[in-house]
Structure 1
Amino acid sequence: MFQLKASGTDAKTEVISGFTTFLTMVYIVVVNPAILSAAGVPFNTVFMATIISTVIGTLWMALFANYPIAIAPGLGMNAYFVTVVTTQKLDYSIAFAAVFVAGVIFLLLSLTPIREKIITAIPHNLKAGITAGIGLFIAFLGFRMTGIIVQNNSNLVGLGDLHSAEALLAIIGLFVTLILLALNVKGALFIGMIITAIISFFTGELKFTDGIIKLPPMPEFIFTNPLHAFGDVMTHGLYAVILSFLLITIFDTTGTMIGVAKKAGLMKGESLPNAKQALLADAVSTTIGSIFGTTPTSAYVESSAGVATGGRTGLTTLTVSILFLVSAFFAPLVGAVSSISAITAPALIIVGSMMIGAVKEINWDSLDEAFPAFLVILAMPLTSSIAIGLAFGFISYVILKIFTKKWHELNGFLIAIAFLFFILVAFLPH
């Protein structure tokens, strides 16, 4: 079913890769409810909705697309959701109605060739820039979440306190994992996380104060009649909100899929085989997730950690979806492990170093090709947004091609995407 031999992998490797991806992204089941609670959404509601949407999207990716790319509610979209609720003084159920309508439109677009055309429309040099940019993005995330790099008033970012327990543990975990990789130990990233977790337990950082197992709360419907969602959107005029959800989700997921797929060697030339099913995964999970109470889903950059461990097929994401389902019964354990960033950060930093190698594919001798790719690489980590990085790249690419009189290298679809990105950056909240 998963064509393991044809993909040059085996069941053991895929399962280990699934565990690796799961451990690097499971924080979302705790972080997402914590963020959305600021909009008044009950913690247990978001907790179960996060798991449901993640399982549905990731399982779809596993069974229908056969890709090792996991799906879960995207960070950034949940913060934007809170902003919409608080600034417009809406009930959170009304805001979820906007998410649902955006999900339905997203689903309809995914059934057309439009999203597949976006993938093929992205020039080769920008694709390489996306992979490298995502690499820097997740490496920077790993340094930041452990306090190795911190906010600095004089220079935006600076060196953190390397004597702190979190930073020390992350540095130890980083070098343990690097040594395992240098020794060609199979599953080094996953083993490194396990060793770091054991160290954190014996140093007193990892604590299980609330036990390990707890029965999950029953999922709840935010609204029972989907037709009411469309009525709520029209009544409150949430059209700009829907457009923001739609554009950011489309391009964020597309960029992540391209970056991770290139790292896994899944791209065939400039296209992604079976792209429609892969792109349907987040559309389906976004639509269903909004009914239960969570924000739009996206392909997760942390999937690259599982790919680096050897994941190449849907068996990796099947493992991820099963683990997320099981996590509903182990909320205290998940909460304890995901609270220690040093356990997963080393894997993100190392995978980032692997992905930055894509810069060698960029034609640095041609400014109109190189500079847009450079903007993608620079903007993704600095703005913490894959979509904004793509926007800078697309807009500058089209402008440079126009003024260097290389019209033949552009097409209407490419120009339309650049125009949508211009609207996103210039006029919509993000």
Structure 2
Amino acid sequence: MFKLEENKTTMKTEVIAGLTTFFTMVYIIVVNPSILSETGMPFEQVFSATIIAAVVGTLWMGLFANYPIAVAPGMGLNVYFAFSVVGSHGGITYHTAFSAVFVAGLIFLLLSLTKFRQLLIESIPDNLKFGISAGIGLFIAFIGFKNTGIITSHPENLVGLGDLHSPTVLLALFGLAVTLILMALKVNGALFIGMIITSIVAYFTGQLTFDKVFALPSLPEGLMIANPFTAIGDVFQYSLYAVVFSFLLVTIFDTTGTMIGVAEQAGFIKGKSMPRAKEALLSDSLATTVGAMFGTSPTTAYIESTSGVAAGGKTGLTSVTIALLFIIASFFGPLVGSLSGVAAITAPALIIVGSLMMGHIAKINWNEMDEAFPAFLVIICMPLTSSISTGIALGFISLPILKMFMGKWREIHPIVYIFAILFFIQLAFLPH
């Protein structure tokens, strides 16, 4: 099913890759509930919904697309849901807000069944693809540095060097050094082994503690969306068109951009196309729809999947491993929460993978301003705005403008012009 020999990999390598990606992204099952519970939702409801959505999307990705890419509720989209949608659009509740997520998921699903999203991937110019991949790399490396305190906020320069005597910073630097040495020695599964060694040190230095290990998953409020027609009616009744459009636009480009970045890193892109693109793109739209029914914000392909790719993951067996680990994690919420609560354990993987993805900068045509500057905007604006979709938007808007003034407008696919206009509307007039 997974064609291990054809892809020149082994079961052991794929399982290690799955473990690596899982422990790099597992923070979401703690962070997502903590954010969405700000709306008044029970923590246990969101915890279970987060895992259900991750399992549905990641299993589909593994079984039907055969890619080592994980899917789970996206960061940024959950913040938008909790603080910009609930209570801000006519005082709507989280129940009604999930109707908007569900409808966006349905539209997303219909688009994924067509060739639209695959056409989108093929229409994106190569230099933008390289910029997207490099920008995501810079973004996740920045997240790794910032979460551990190696980089901190600065009142004058925005960011600055953190306290190098801090236990968290020292642990992160230790984990980074150990993992880099293992990778330099070409040790298989270096990222995962580095996390294990860092976890052991964290435990013995008192930075990692376990208060409670086991807890049964639950859904205190049952299904959030039980009747699709009611959800569609809520969108019309509360005029949530802009909310649906925002969810749809951001999810399409967050996921498409991330998927391109991971696929480019893994070498899955063949020419201008991505094999089995429809199957892969269906995973997040299906997960978003199912996730909304149980109580979580839209899902996206995870940039942390690149850590599993770097560990050797090449097939859907990596994704199936991740999904199974999410199922197991649903019974060990407190334990997993403890591990993911120590940023220094997972940050080294993010930083190293970020450095690997930055290699795509070398492929950009820096000699042509109309090609180079849009890619530069993508790369620099992703970390500076903390948004993958904003970086992509600015690249999409600037590229057609430069091409038109240089008389090269025919080089751009019509769909790029359409989305340049939609992105301009979103940035100028809609919440983001």
TM-score, length basis structure 1: 0.99
User: Which residue does the alignment assign to 2:127?
Assistant: 125
Q: What displacement does 1:125 show? A: 0.7
Aligned partners of 2:32 and 2:50 also within 8 Å: yes
User: Which residue does the alignment assign to 1:87?
Assistant: 88
Q: What displacement does 1:47 show? A: 0.3
User: Which residue does the alignment assign to 1:171?
Assistant: 173
Matches within 5 A, 1:382-397: 382-397=384-399
Query: Any unmatched runs of 5+ in structure 1?
Result: none
| Residue of 356, 364, 367 corresponding to 1:365 | 367
Does residue 60 (structure 1) correspond to residue 51 (structure 2)? The answer is no
Q: What displacement does 1:218 show? A: 4.0
User: Which residue does the alignment assign to 1:35?
Assistant: 35
User: Which residue does the alignment assign to 1:401?
Assistant: 403
Count of residue pairs the alignment pairs up: 429
Counterparts of 1:130 and 1:259 in 2: how far apart (Å)?
6
User: Which residue does the alignment assign to 1:300?
Assistant: 302
Structure 1 stretches of 4+ moved >3 Å: none
Kindly provide the CA deviation profile for residues 348-386 of structure 1, in whole angstroms up to 9, marking residues without a partner as x. Answer: 000101110001110111111011111111011111111
User: Which residue does the alignment assign to 2:14?
Assistant: 14
Instruction: Tell me the secondary structure at the aligned position of residue 256 of structure 1.
Output: helix
Instruction: Tell me the secondary structure at the aligned position of residue 134 of structure 2.
Output: helix
Aligned partners of 2:34 and 2:43 also within 8 Å: yes
| Residue of 237, 258, 276 corresponding to 1:256 | 258
Aligned partners of 2:251 and 2:298 also within 8 Å: yes
Counterparts of 2:177 and 2:56 in 1: how far apart (Å)?
36
User: Which residue does the alignment assign to 2:382?
Assistant: 380
Instruction: Tell me the secondary structure at the aligned position of residue 257 of structure 1.
Output: helix
Kindly provide the CA deviation profile for residues 289-332 of structure 1, in whole angstroms up to 9, marking residues without a partner as x. Answer: 00100000000000000000010110000000000000001111
Q: What displacement does 1:224 show? A: 1.7
User: Which residue does the alignment assign to 1:328?
Assistant: 330
Instruction: Tell me the secondary structure at the aligned position of residue 401 of structure 1.
Output: helix
Counterparts of 1:242 and 1:299 in 2: how far apart (Å)?
19
Query: Any unmatched runs of 5+ in structure 2?
Result: none
Instruction: Tell me the secondary structure at the aligned position of residue 344 of structure 1.
Output: helix
User: Which residue does the alignment assign to 1:208?
Assistant: 210
Counterparts of 1:266 and 1:412 in 2: how far apart (Å)?
25
Matches within 5 A, 1:90-169: 90-169=92-171
Kindly provide the CA deviation profile for residues 57-92 of structure 1, in whole angstroms up to 9, marking residues without a partner as x. Answer: 000000000001100000011111112113232111
What fraction of aligned residue pairs are identical, expressed as a percent? Answer: 62
User: Which residue does the alignment assign to 1:267?
Assistant: 269
Aligned partners of 2:400 and 2:409 also within 8 Å: no
Counterparts of 1:163 and 1:5 in 2: how far apart (Å)?
48
> What CA RMSD, in Å, does the superposition of the two structures yield over aligned residues?
0.9
Aligned partners of 2:225 and 2:292 also within 8 Å: no
Does residue 69 (structure 1) correspond to residue 52 (structure 2)? The answer is no
Counterparts of 1:118 and 1:162 in 2: how far apart (Å)?
45
